[in-house]
Amino acid sequence: MNEEKKMWVIFKSYEIVNYYEDAGISAKTGNYRPEFERLKSDIKAKKINTIVALKHHQY
């Protein structure tokens, strides 16, 4: 998480519970995405209620 996102999280008084990294796995091709599945599982289990996403551009 970059510094700008960390400052936003602190400003909002959110608690960082976990990091989910889904980098390098394309959703277009139907690949299994273990971190995305873990995120969905944690949402269903009500372990988290807010997601802060950072999009990395590939050029």
CA-CA distances (angstroms) from residue 3 to 6, 23, 45, 53, 54? 5, 19, 29, 13, 11
**Quick check: is 59 in a domain?**
no
Does the pTM surpass 0.95? The reply is no
Torsion (CA) 9, 55, 28, 21 in degrees, nearest 10:
-50
Domain with 19, as residue range(s), is 3-44
The reported pLDDT for the residue numbered 29 is: 78
Number of compact structural domains in the chain: 1
Residue 51 identity: I
The reported pLDDT for the residue numbered 52 is: 78
Task: Encode pLDDT of 1-59 as tens digits.
Answer: 667 777 777 777 777 788 888 877 777 777 888 998 999 999 999 998 888 776 665 55
**Quick check: is 55 in a domain?**
no
